[in-house]
């Protein structure tokens, strides 16, 4: 019973995190002496801000000490200091996760979670986000009155995107493609190709996206060239293989399982099959869910991220077995799956199989 009570009250932890970040406690604790700060000392430092209630701040920090954000030193007046994980919530940290807390726990997403059970029961078209906020997320975040939500979402998305780029550079041995041509299909601004090209200058890196997206990104293309890694930005259509430049390998991050259906995912693979030479590679960066029955603590994070994506009506990611049958049914074979530190970004290397004539 106590375990179930704990689970049913689990929302207290993210809410404690939200209060912790919004009140600005991480940055106060960062400056704390090594034996930490008492609640009164923290409140003293907040004296120029709206008054903070002693007992609720104390409970907030006690809860966060149970999940490894702060260390609580017992004394007549307990003191608190940040753990290594807690330091990630300070604004000055180079990988600050302050925007993640603000984005995930912002009202529109929090309310969307509340709409999830009825979405599951009704199997309706309206996503939980839309039911809770009256409009799809893209529209919501683009409205001027929601600029602060957009700011948090934008900072978090760009942080994830930088981390994913790093994971893509490190998660595949690009040197094996020495002096070959690679096309990033749906590569948006060419961020990944820029990073790959900078580290492996012998590769010819091309980023293909819709013509209007490429036009918008022309400025960054110039910047790219200044930095030494030349990435060619090309307008095209991933559903039309004739628009894909001749290449030895195709890279795709969050493209195969974008917010479209299985038929479109297959159509993209068909384009790749037609555009690639015999034995050419499709390098895919996507989430790989743990197989049923084998979910451990770390892997369960990818299930949580997938559950979060459901708020926007996204279909689930695939397990490695599902990726294998998907690859085979689209004329490819999975050569390897490399997990990275990010639950959203494993690197799957698929090789084009030649369909033998009967």
In the complex with ligand SAM, the residue whose CB is nearer, 32 or 208, is 208
- 207 - beta bridge partners? 184, 233
In the complex with ligand SAM, the residue whose CB is nearer, 204 or 253, is 253
CA atoms within 13 A on the CB side of 205: 28
In the complex with ligand SAM, the residue whose CB is nearer, 89 or 276, is 276
What separation in angstroms does the CA of 189 have from each of 182, 213, 231? 15, 8, 10
Smallest gap from residue 38 Cβ to ligand SAM (A): 45
Q: Give the interface size with ligand SAM as a residue count (CB under 6 A).
A: 14
In the complex with ligand SAM, the residue whose CB is nearer, 173 or 259, is 259
CA 330 to chain centre: 26
Instruction: Show contacts with ligand SAM in window 180-199 (CB under 6 A).
Output: 186-188
Smallest gap from residue 151 Cβ to ligand SAM (A): 19
Sign of the alpha-carbon dihedral angle for 239, 245, 249, 254: negative
In the complex with ligand SAM, the residue whose CB is nearer, 254 or 266, is 254
Q: Which residue is nearest to ligand SAM (CB)?
A: 186
In the complex with ligand SAM, the residue whose CB is nearer, 99 or 187, is 187
Sort strands 318-319 and 346-352 into parallel, antiparallel or unpaired: unpaired
Smallest gap from residue 4 Cβ to ligand SAM (A): 38
What separation in angstroms does the CA of 197 have from each of 14, 135, 174, 178, 201? 39, 40, 10, 11, 5
- 70 - beta bridge partners? 82
Taking the C-alpha atoms of residue 33 and residue 40, their distance in angstroms, rounded to an integer, is 14
Q: Which of 65, 111, 126, 161 binds ligand SAM (CB under 6 A)?
A: 161
Smallest gap from residue 58 Cβ to ligand SAM (A): 42
For residue 143, what are the contacts with CB-CB under 8 A and spacing of at least 6? none
Per-residue x/- marks for ligand SAM, 204-243, CB under 6 A? -----xx--x-----------------------xxx----
Smallest gap from residue 55 Cβ to ligand SAM (A): 45
Smallest gap from residue 136 Cβ to ligand SAM (A): 15
In the complex with ligand SAM, the residue whose CB is nearer, 59 or 305, is 305
What separation in angstroms does the CA of 64 have from each of 37, 67, 73, 260? 15, 5, 13, 39
In the complex with ligand SAM, the residue whose CB is nearer, 177 or 284, is 284
Confirm or reject binding of residue 305 to ligand SAM (CB under 6 A).
no
What separation in angstroms does the CA of 307 have from each of 141, 202, 301, 316? 20, 40, 10, 8
In the complex with ligand SAM, the residue whose CB is nearer, 188 or 318, is 188
Instruction: Show contacts with ligand SAM in window 245-304 (CB under 6 A).
Output: 253-255, 258
Smallest gap from residue 272 Cβ to ligand SAM (A): 12
Instruction: Show contacts with ligand SAM in window 310-349 (CB under 6 A).
Output: none
In the complex with ligand SAM, the residue whose CB is nearer, 183 or 289, is 183
The binding site for ligand SAM (CB under 6 A) comprises 161, 186-188, 209-210, 213, 237-239, 253-255, 258
């Amino acid at each position: 019973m106590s375990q179930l009570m704990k689970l049913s009250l689990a929302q207290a932890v993210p809410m404690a995190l939200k209060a912790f970040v919004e009140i600005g406690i991480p940055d106060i604790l960062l400056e704390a002496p090594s034996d930490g700060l008492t609640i009164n000392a923290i409140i003293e430092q907040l004296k120029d801000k709206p008054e903070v209630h002693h007992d609720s701040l104390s409970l907030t920090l006690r809860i966060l000490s149970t999940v490894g954000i702060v260390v609580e030193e017992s004394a007549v007046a307990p003191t608190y200091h940040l753990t290594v994980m807690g330091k990630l919530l300070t604004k000055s940290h180079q990988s600050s996760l302050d925007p993640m807390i603000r984005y995930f726990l912002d009202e529109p997403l929090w309310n969307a979670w509340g709409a999830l059970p009825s979405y599951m029961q009704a199997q309706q078209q309206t996503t939980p986000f839309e039911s809770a906020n009256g409009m799809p997320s893209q529209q919501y975040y683009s409205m001027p009155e929601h600029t602060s939500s957009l700011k948090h979402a934008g900072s978090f998305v760009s942080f994830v995107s930088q981390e994913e780029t790093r994971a893509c550079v490190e998660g595949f041995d690009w040197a094996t493609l020495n002096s070959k041509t690679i096309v990033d299909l749906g590569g948006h601004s060419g961020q990944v190709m820029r990073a790959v090209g900078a580290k492996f200058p012998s590769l010819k890196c091309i980023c293909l996206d819709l013509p209007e997206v490429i036009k918008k990104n022309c400025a960054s293309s110039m910047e790219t060239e200044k930095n030494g890694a030349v990435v060619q930005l090309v307008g095209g259509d991933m559903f039309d293989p004739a628009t894909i430049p001749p290449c030895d390998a195709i890279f795709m991050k969050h493209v195969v399982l974008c917010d479209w259906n299985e038929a479109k995912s297959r159509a993209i693979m068909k384009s790749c099959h037609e555009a690639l030479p015999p034995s050419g590679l499709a390098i895919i960066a996507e989430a790989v869910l743990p197989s049923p029955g084998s979910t451990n603590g770390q892997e369960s994070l990818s299930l949580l991220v997938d559950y979060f994506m459901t708020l926007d009506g996204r279909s689930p990611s695939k397990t490695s077995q599902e990726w294998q049958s998907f690859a085979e049914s689209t004329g490819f074979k999975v050569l390897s799956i490399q997990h990275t530190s990010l639950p959203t970004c494993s690197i799957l290397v698929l090789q084009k199989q030649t369909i033998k004539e009967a």
